[in-house]
Each structure stands twice: as C-alpha cells, then as structure tokens.
Amino acid sequence: MHATICDLITDLVQNSIEANAKEITLNVEETKTNLKVVIADNGKGMSAETLEKAKDPFWSDGLKHKHRKVGLGLPFLFQTSEMTGGNAQIESEESVGTTVAFNLDQTNVDLPMFGNFTTAMITLLTYGFDGNLKIERSVDSKSYTVSKQELQEALGDLNDLESLTLLKQFIETNEEEING
Amino acid sequence: MAKMTLEELRNLRESKKKEMTQRDDEGKSAQIIIGMGTCGIAAGAKDAFDAFLDELNSHNVTDTKITQTGCMGLCFSEPTVEVDVPGMPRVIYGNVDDKVARRIVKEHIIGKALVSDHIFDKPAADIIK
Ligand SMILES: Nc1ncnc2c1ncn2[C@@H]1O[C@H](COP(=O)(O)OP(=O)(O)O)[C@@H](O)[C@H]1O
Ligand SMILES: [Mg+2]
C-alpha cells in the first residue's frame, strides 16, 4: 500500500500519464495547517459512469494491469481524506481532461507522512512519456515552479546519469530553500 | 547548498559535456529500466533508484541511462529492474532493493557478470553467447 502523500501524488500523476495527457500541472501547496494538491491534465478524461466506478477500490479499468483488477490511486485518496477530515474532488470530461484536487489537514495525527518530494518529482520527470509536466510548489510564502520542458532545454535527455544527478540537485536545493 | 537556477543547471550541464572525453564505444550506453508502479513504489523502487544513481556516480559510470516505468506486471517480485548492457543478454531482476541495485552496478554493469541469484527472467541459455 501507499506509504506517503508523495506516493499518492506520484500515483495520481501516473494516472494522468496513463490517460495520455500531453500537459499535466501539479500544484502542491503546504502551510502549517493545510496541504493542498491539484493535478490537472488534458488526457482522455472519464465519462460520468467511469468516474463513479473509479472511486470504487475494487475497480480498475482492466486494461492497465492485466494481473490486477483493483485500482489503488483514487480509492486511497478518498480513504485518506475521509479518515483525516480532509476533502477531495475529481472533475473529468471525456476527451478534455481530468482535475483531481484535495485538501488535507496537516494537524491531523492520522495523516500519512509527507514523504520525499524530490524523489517523487524525479520519478515523474523522468518517466517515459513525451508530454510536459509543470510543477508549482510552495511552503508557506516561499515557492518555485519548474517544468519538464524547461529542464529538458537546460539538460537535454533527462534520463542520462549526468542529467539525473543535476536534476536531483536542482529539485533538492529548491526544496531546501522553500522548507528552510 | 544554495538554490539552483535553470541558468546554473544549463551551465553545469555544458561544462560536464566538455569534460567528457570521447569514448570509443560511444552511443552504446547501458540502460536501466525500473518498474515503478504503485506496487513498485510500495516495495521500495525509489530506494533502488537512489542506490543506482549513487553507485553509478561513485564509480563514474556516466554513460548510463535510467528510465522509470509503471508496473511491469510482476508485482510479486517488485521492484523489478531491466538491465540492458551492450553485448550482454537483456535481464530482468526481481526484488531489487538498495543492496541488490549496488550489486547490479558493480557486478553486471561494471564487471559484465550477471547477478544470478536475483535474475527474474533472461533469454534461454542456448541463445546466450
Ligand atoms: N487522470 C485520469 N484520466 C483518465 N482516467 C483516469 C484518471 N485517473 C484515473 N482514471 C481512471 O480511473 C481508474 C482507477 O484509477 P486508480 O484508482 O488510480 O487505479 P489504477 O490506476 O490502478 O487503475 C483508472 O484505471 C482509469 O480508468
Ligand atoms: Mg493509478
């Protein structure tokens, strides 16, 4: 199962990638009391019927993983927000895109650990898909934004070791700055 | 470390490129593909990723590519890692944790010998040269 909030975010962005999104925006805003996450994509979207099913933990579209008929991403989100007094919404329109948004109470003792944001972002930025991913990140009043496109322009192929190493330093130092 | 800007990132990348001497096996780099599906994440694929990055850097094996992919459909032995070294059979390793990742770098990628006790899938013996 998911260990951290960052695992959950990774899974939700992977859903966007798997829905063939070409443009994904991930917004993660933390304050002392609230964690707000919004993931917006222009992927294939869901019909009202699919959206209803997607909230069911014992349903997955049956195409992604032939061995597993159980979806984990969305149900885990709803379970976490219910358990901790947060809220979560999904809006989706077929062939337009999907927006998943949630707010979690940072002071709730049952909230899973936040996890390692840097590693999660490296996973998503180097994931083999050719769309763009824009990251908007803030902690209290400090923030940074960066996109996969900008990083590719600066580093070239993000998957080679030199790029990966620099990419890790880039995200790490930006995280240090806003968390400091 | 001070916060890095995109400009610094670009410059660092440029200077690293110049530093790198031409290799005679250019273009033939090793490939590592890490299965990172929900199951892979839970099973510690991220630790494996960090271990690969660290071990490859400490041995200066810069001509390597690391790609991450979703679930490879082998959840029961996640994290799974596919390793493709030019001139060697393509291999899928199962249950790759930090330690196994470091062994793959030292034994497989540098030493050109398979880490047999963690092989999940490889071509039949008669097609290995
Ligand atoms: N961003 C999205 N765009 C389109 N469809 C989505 C999106 N997110 C989820 N879905 C649909 O909801 C289903 C359930 O998602 P999830 O709970 O993450 O489980 P899984 O990804 O393992 O199938 C997916 O299989 C997919 O059909
Ligand atoms: Mg999913």
Enter the CATH code of domain B29-127: 3.40.30.10
- What is the CB < 6 Å shell around ligand 1? A 11, 15-16, 19, 41, 43-46, 54, 60-61, 64, 71-75, 98
Q: Mention every residue, 6+ apart, whose C-beta is less than 8 A from residue A41.
A: A16, A19, A21, A23, A24, A25, A97, A98, A99
Q: Domain residues of chain B, as ranges?
A: 29-127
Which of A59-63, B66-70, B80-84 is least confident? A59-63
Dist. CA A63 → ligand 1 center (Å): 10
Alpha-carbon span A74 to A127, nearest angstrom: 20
List CB contacts (< 8 A) between A160 and chain B. Answer: 29, 62-65
Alpha-carbon span B126 to B129, nearest angstrom: 8
* Residue A16 CA, closest ligand 1 atom number: 1
List CB contacts (< 8 A) between A157 and chain B. Answer: 65
- pTM higher than 0.90: no
The b/e string for A35-73 (b: 16+ C-beta within 10 A; e otherwise) is: bebbbbbbbbbbeeeebebbeeeebbeeebbeebeebbb
Alpha-carbon span A85 to B78, nearest angstrom: 33
Determine the distance from the C-alpha atom of residue A128 to the mean position of all C-alpha atoms in its chain, rounded to a whole number.
16
Taking each helix axis from N to C terminus, what angle separates A73-83 and A5-18, rounded to the nearest 10 degrees? 140
Q: Domain residues of chain A, as ranges?
A: 5-116+127-139
pLDDT means over runs of 10, chain A (180 residues) = 78 92 98 97 94 72 51 80 92 97 96 91 89 98 97 94 93 95
Q: Which CATH class is domain A5-116+127-139?
A: alpha beta
